[in-house]
Amino acid sequence: MTIQPSEDEVVSYFDKLSNWGRWGPDDRLGTLNLITDETRRAAVRLIRDGQAVSLSRDLDPLNPDPLGYGTVLQRYMEIDAGSQLVGRDDLRFESVREYVGIVAHGSHTHLDGLAHFSWGGKNYNGFDASDTSSTRGARSLSIHHARSGIVTRGVLLDIAAVHDVPWLPPGHAITPEELVAAEQRQAMTAGLGDALLIHTGNFARVAAEGVHPQQHQPGLAAATLPYLRERDISVLGMDGIQDVIPSAYTTPDLTMPVHTVALVALGLWLIDNAALSELAAVCDSRRQWDFFFAMLPWRMVGVTSSVVNPIALF
């Protein structure tokens, strides 16, 4: 059984697991470099009958923060905008337009870009954290660098099913052994360039029991970081925020070690709060846990996140 790494060992992962320089000194894509043209062609060959499953939660202005993160979701709607546009009020048609404002790092399903976290004043590949400012945005590492989209093989590892439960309890720290147990149960492994999705049943538990009063939730233990590096996956998604909450470490620097090491050292893009319950049910019914995966983030310059609606296609 894996022993929890010490705080010093987790800090050493910034060097031991680093992808800095792997794709050149000016690389801004990180693990998205692992998705090649052949990777995408191979993913297309997984499509058999065209069944599609959305992996995103709804964005509802009437319920903007279902996970209790303090999320802001604004919608201001203008009715009968057509009359105002043409300067007449006797038109037979009406049009509607609206302003929408989103804090993407919150309850919504969203993609974390590589400028989201820093360590020791540095972002992924050695870019200065000071390159990101509230006035000029993320100048070196921005979500728009993923402008070609993320299209690859998706793999679901169902950890709740490993334990034969509908959901893992809050605070459950997933170990490398559990990830391997899911691979063995499903007779498949995550590998080079894959989008790895990990099902814990977290949102089914929230729907049944409500948000945990201390925001505790299941997630990956820091000990899984070498697994993520060895598997060379391109993007990691969970029905939560990857890290187990609470962290096993007392230092505030390691409140979210998986987020910090993954984004800064590995250059691994993260999908927070994916909706995976339907996907887990479909995979189980088909006895197939890999699929065509597609996600098209915003092509928006200078931001560290994008609300997304990933799709699994069978």
Q: What's the CATH code of the domain at 124? A: 3.50.30
Q: Residue 114: inside a domain, yes or no? A: yes
Consecutive H or E run containing 133? strand 132-133
Q: Which residue has the higher pLDDT, 190 or 98?
A: 190
Count up the domains in the chain and report the number: 1
pLDDT of the residue at 73: 86
Q: What string of DSSP letters covers 98-112?
A: EEEEE--SSSS-EEE
pLDDT at 94 over 80: no
pLDDT of the residue at 106: 85
Overall residue count recorded for the chain in this entry: 314
Whole-structure pTM value: 0.94
Q: Residue 121: inside a domain, yes or no? A: yes
Q: Residue 205 sits in which domain range?
A: 7-57+109-313
Q: Residue 70: inside a domain, yes or no? A: no
Q: Residue 77: inside a domain, yes or no? A: no
Q: Residue 66: inside a domain, yes or no? A: no
Q: How far apart are CA 255 and CA 252, in angstroms?
A: 5
Q: What are the C-alpha distances in Å from 258 to residues 53, 116, 229, 265? A: 27, 13, 12, 10
Q: Residue 95: inside a domain, yes or no? A: no
| Mean pLDDT taken over the chain | 93
Residue pLDDT, tens place only, 26-49: 999 999 999 999 999 999 999 999
Residue pLDDT, tens place only, 125-165: 999 999 999 999 999 999 999 999 999 999 999 999 999 99
Q: Residue 104: inside a domain, yes or no? A: no
Q: Residue 74: inside a domain, yes or no? A: no
pLDDT at 91 over 70: no
Q: How far apart are CA 129 and CA 106, in angstroms?
A: 21
CA atoms within a 13 Å half-sphere pointing along the CA-CB vector of 196: 28
> What is the number of other CB atoms lying within 10 angstroms of the CB of residue 107?
22
Q: Which of these, 216, 173, 222, lies nearest to 7 by C-alpha position?
A: 222
